[in-house]
């Protein structure tokens, strides 16, 4: 786990570049936008690192 400022990073930027295209985009969705995909995925990985 890496820190950037006061925030922990589970994935490097290079890893995230490979993951991000697999997730839904906010651009094509109506209504309330999704949260920040990176924050959500890193939260899941941080909570259960063996998943």
Tens of pLDDT along 28-40?
667 777 778 898 8
Q: Alpha carbon of 11 to those of 34, 38, 49: distances in Å?
A: 20, 9, 12
Domain ranges for the chain = 1-23+35-51
Q: What is the mean pLDDT of residues 18-32?
A: 80
Give yes or no for a contact between 41 and 23, defined as CB atoms under 8 angstroms apart: yes
Threshold 0.75, pTM exceeds? no
Residues constituting the chain: 51
């Amino acid at each position: 786990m890496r820190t950037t400022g006061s925030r922990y990073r589970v994935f490097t930027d290079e890893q995230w570049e490979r993951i991000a295209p697999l997730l839904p985009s906010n651009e094509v969705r109506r209504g309330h936008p999704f949260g920040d995909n990176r924050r959500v995925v890193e939260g899941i990985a941080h909570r259960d690192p063996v998943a």
